[in-house]
Amino acid sequence: MRVLEIQQRFKNYMSSFQFEGQIDWSQHEDRRGRIHFNLFIKARKEGHRGTLDDVSVKARGGRVGKGVSGGEESLSSLLFALALLQNLQTAPGFIVMDEFDSALDEQRKLKVFDLYASELERKLIILSPKSHENSYLDRFSKAYIVHHDPTVPRSKVMGIIMNELTATMFVFAGNNGSGKSTIRNLIVDRLGVSINIDPDALARKIDNLNPSRY
């Protein structure tokens, strides 16, 4: 594994978010002759004075320094992981990330997602994305929802295609007065319908005095 290359990539990624980043490590030998390594991921906002905060200390039961928030700690970890993934000995066809965006604000979430997608150039599987913003969700090509029925018990996976340009028509049919227009008006926005054709409205446009002829 190319340590210096990982270090440089991490610094570049951090700089794109206005942070300074550094990776340090130490090693020691125990009584049985085994070598142990300690990894330190450090971060500091650009322009701030003082030492870089060790954001990796939290994973060892410590606390992050005052200069870095929880979201910034998560950002540093994600950018370090991206630098590592760039130096894998193998080339996996996809990468799975579990709630990787949970501690990021919306602006950083978009930027980190786009950075992962452009740098890795492979499928990304995000478990439990933590956002309801369309600008973020529109970046996904498919979504899979796991529905669990505790009375069976059984889980069902439902797939939704999100970004394919497929022509779809929704038809509401029924007798006069059955509530077609009411139902349509209630759910048309939720269906994402961009063109709404109302036959009754067209008939009134053609012949307002006797629209039933059409």
**What confidence tens digit (pLDDT) does each residue in 108-124 have?**
889 999 999 899 888 88
Residue 95 has pLDDT above 80, yes or no: yes
Q: Are 55 and 64 in contact (CB under 8 A)?
A: yes
Give pLDDT, residue 14. Answer: 93
Residue 192 in domain = yes
- Residue whose C-alpha is closest to residue 66's, from 78, 56, 54, 80: 54
Please answer whether residues 67 and 45 qualify as being in contact, where contact means their C-beta atoms are separated by less than 8 angstroms. yes
pLDDT-derived band at 180 (thresholds 50, 70, 90) equals low
pLDDT of 61 reads 54
Beta-bridge mates of residue 19:
45
Query: Which of these three, 68, 89, 110, is where a domain ends?
Result: 89
In this prediction, residue 39 carries a pLDDT of: 82
Q: Between β-strands 94-98 and 123-127, what pairing exists: parallel, antiparallel or unpaired?
A: parallel
| H or E element, residue 8 | helix 3-15
Which structural domain range is residue 4 located in?
A: 1-89
State whether residue 75 is helix, strand or coil.
helix
User: 19 lies in a domain?
Assistant: yes
Question: Where does a domain end: 89, 113, 136?
Answer: 89
Q: How many domains does the chain have?
A: 3
Question: How much is the pLDDT for 183?
Answer: 62
Same domain, 80 and 2: yes
Same domain, residue pair 48 and 82: yes
Same structural domain, 62 and 115: no
Residue 195 has pLDDT above 80, yes or no: no
Are 151 and 111 members of one domain? Answer: yes
Across 89-94, average pLDDT: 79
| Residue 186 shares a structural domain with residue 207 | yes
Assigned domain for 12 exists: yes
> Mean pLDDT, to the nearest integer, of 177-195?
59
pLDDT tens string 54-83:
776 655 555 544 556 778 888 888 999 999
Q: Per-residue confidence at 161, pLDDT binned at 50, 70, 90? A: low
Residue 173 included in any domain? no
In this structure, the answer to whether residues 81 and 35 fall within a common structural domain is yes
Question: Mutual orientation of helices 70-85 and 3-15 as an angle, nearest 10°?
Answer: 140
Residues in the chain: 214
Alpha-carbon span 55 to 74, nearest angstrom: 9
Last residue of a domain, one of 41, 67, 89: 89
Q: Is residue 175 part of a domain?
A: no
Q: What is the pLDDT of residue 133?
A: 76
C-alpha span between 206 and 214 (Å, rounded): 8
pLDDT digits (tens, 9 = 90+) for 20-53: 999 888 888 988 999 988 888 888 888 887 778 7
- Is 62 or 106 the better-scoring residue by pLDDT? 106
Cβ neighbours for 98, distance < 8 A, ≥ 6 positions apart = 127, 128
> Which of 169-173, 182-186, 209-213 is modeled with the greatest confidence?
209-213
User: Tens digit of pLDDT for each residue in 139-160?
Assistant: 888 777 777 777 777 777 766 6
* CATH number, position 108: 3.40.50.300
Q: Are residues 113 and 188 in the same domain?
A: no
Note if the pTM is more than 0.85. Answer: no
Strand partners, 54: 42
